Structure 1
């Protein structure tokens, strides 16, 4: 569960690979020198890129730079989840992009990707469509399609930098604590009362040392992280049509008013507003159901 270097293999004669991994219950906190473009589609999930830990709803499109540690985006997701991952050879920027003056914007994009870039709106929709198309193209056409995708990303204003500082692997190499153990503890206990003294003991640290370590790794206190995790789980239950009151206690809060307040702080919406916006009942054969990716695809 410690941070790992992923060894990526490419087909001979190809500058990149595009595939659909599924890890889900595997905690894969890793890095690699290859720049990576990831599209993930799920009801709700958590992204952990560098020091940024944040949530996404429905889907996310991310460009992750060379040697930036990140967690697999389907980790811990209990609902349906789909991913598309595109990884470029380590030499892609140096050999293909840098020598071509017309690729100046793409060069700047790839050089900035060490911050972790999340794309939204029409940019995300367009890029995902093009990723689906190049899956079935020959080597040359798929490379041309990738350049087009990178140009779209380079020109986009629908982008958010996830980190404000360099979090490439050199920053994390001294980490001897198993973040996976901490994640697993939180996942197993978020609906109860996660105890900072207990998890500190599990990873063989004093409580003050654990708190310093955790804050350094995540830019969050342990309590803030647990509450963030609870809010993300709450979104999942809301989208499964649980009532706000049920969800409040289901994810470990003891006060409905505090749950409502914290949910709005994290999402900008109350739980009721979030559910009204994202939960969409539909009528199937005279019965009320819920729109899922499966039913949506069959429409």
Structure 2
């Protein structure tokens, strides 16, 4: 479960590949020199791109630059999950985009993608529609569709940079800790009182060394990460039949007031406001 370099095979005569993978039960912490556009649709999930670890609700559209480590976005998702992944050949930027002056905005977009870019709103809607259309078109039309997608992304203001610094693989090469062990521990124990001493021992570090390592890797303390994971799991339960009090204890919090406070800090709304907004969206 150490970080892996993914070897991507392309069909002869094609500059990119578009497919729908499913790796739900596989921890695939990986990188590759190819730039990648990922659309994931799920009730709730966690994205890990570079040093950024954050949650998404309903869906996410991400542009991930060359050699940026990332985790498969369907990892441990317990609800229905759909993905579309578009990967461009390693030389796509240099050979196809850079030589064409009309593609200057796309060039800037792809060069900036090393930060990890998350797109929302109308941008996400338009791009996903085009990705689905590309699944059923010929080679030339698909390439034109990809150029259109990149132009839409390049001109969009509905974008969030996930990282504030360069997190390409050179930053992670000396990492010998199995992040999968940590993820699995949190997934299995988020609804209980987690023990940092226990997980430190599992990855053969002293507790202080583990805390330093984890903060360096994720920009979060272990406690903050666990709470973030709990809040993301809570979003799933809130859209089911459980009461807010039941959800609070289901995800491992011991205080309803603290759960409400932390939920609002993370999402800008209370659990009841979150539930009401999303259920109204479903009914409409």
After superposition, the C-alpha distances for 1:180-216 in whole angstroms (9 at most, x for unaligned) are: 0000000000000110000000000000000000000
Please report how far the alpha carbon of residue 281 of structure 1 lies from its aligned counterpart in structure 2 after TM superposition: 9.3
Partner of 1:110: 110
Distance in 1, Cα, partners of 2:272 & 2:244? 7
Q: Where do 4+ consecutive residues of structure 1 move more than 6 Å?
A: none
Partner of 1:57: 57
8 Å CA contact retained: 1:241, 1:279? no
Distance in 2, Cα, partners of 1:123 & 1:246? 36
Please say if 1:7 is aligned against 2:7.
yes
Please report how far the alpha carbon of residue 240 of structure 1 lies from its aligned counterpart in structure 2 after TM superposition: 1.5
Partner of 1:265: 265
Partner of 1:247: 247
Partner of 2:126: 126
After superposition, the C-alpha distances for 1:16-37 in whole angstroms (9 at most, x for unaligned) are: 0000000011100000000000
8 Å CA contact retained: 1:34, 1:90? yes
Please report how far the alpha carbon of residue 44 of structure 1 lies from its aligned counterpart in structure 2 after TM superposition: 0.5
8 Å CA contact retained: 1:35, 1:63? yes
Distance in 2, Cα, partners of 1:61 & 1:14? 23
Q: What secondary structure does 2:54 align onto?
A: strand
8 Å CA contact retained: 1:2, 1:29? yes
| Runs of 5+ consecutive residues of structure 2 not aligned to the other structure | none
Q: What secondary structure does 2:128 align onto?
A: helix
Distance in 2, Cα, partners of 1:279 & 1:137? 36
Please report how far the alpha carbon of residue 266 of structure 1 lies from its aligned counterpart in structure 2 after TM superposition: 0.5
Distance in 1, Cα, partners of 2:153 & 2:66? 17
Please report how far the alpha carbon of residue 239 of structure 1 lies from its aligned counterpart in structure 2 after TM superposition: 1.1
Q: What secondary structure does 1:57 align onto?
A: strand
Please report how far the alpha carbon of residue 279 of structure 1 lies from its aligned counterpart in structure 2 after TM superposition: 2.2
Please say if 1:191 is aligned against 2:188.
no
Please report how far the alpha carbon of residue 103 of structure 1 lies from its aligned counterpart in structure 2 after TM superposition: 0.2
Please report how far the alpha carbon of residue 280 of structure 1 lies from its aligned counterpart in structure 2 after TM superposition: 4.5
Equivalent residues in 2 for 1:174-189, closer than 5 Å: 174-189=174-189
Q: What is the TM-score when the length of structure 1 is the normalising length?
A: 0.94
Please say if 1:38 is aligned against 2:38.
yes
Q: What is the TM-score when the length of structure 2 is the normalising length?
A: 0.98
Please report how far the alpha carbon of residue 242 of structure 1 lies from its aligned counterpart in structure 2 after TM superposition: 1.3
Equivalent residues in 2 for 1:206-285, closer than 5 Å: 206-280=206-280
> What's the C-alpha RMSD, in Å, of the aligned pairs?
1.1
